[in-house]
Amino acid sequence: VTALRARRAMVESGTISDEGEVDIVDCPYLSGVPDSLREVLPSYSSGGVLFADICKEGPGSNVLSSHITQLRGEGLLPDNWEFVAAPRTYNPLGSTLTFLNEEDIVTAFRKLMGREQDHSMDKE
């Protein structure tokens, strides 16, 4: 849901022109990299991939870090990728301030796209 909201916010802010510019792949499978993720990643080899983990950043806390490592080892991770997760901090009961939020994802996306533009200038 957070990624969907972030994509909508990027349209509203003009970061992207329509929601079709950003694909969201939900990956709830925790024990290993899903085959469907392996299948879809090659289609993003010329663009970029943003991994947004709702779990807290840090060792043993988020599953996508191990997925990224495995995908890199298999040669499936594109050159341009970014990772964002919830901050590694105490979460007061009932508070959502430390959860991964739309702004975190939008900021990481802009960083990712900035690198993509830098790479395209290198090719010219």
- Share the mean pLDDT of the chain: 84
- The whole-model pTM stands at 0.79
Q: What are the tens digits of pLDDT across the range 7-43?
A: 999 999 999 998 988 998 888 777 889 999 999 999 9
Instruction: Please tell me the distance from the alpha carbon of residue 92 to that of residue 109, in angstroms, as a whole number.
Output: 28
SS3 content of the chain, % helix, strand, coil (to 5): 45, 10, 45
The full set of domain ranges for the chain reads: 23-123
Q: What are the tens digits of pLDDT across the range 55-76?
A: 777 666 678 888 999 999 999 9
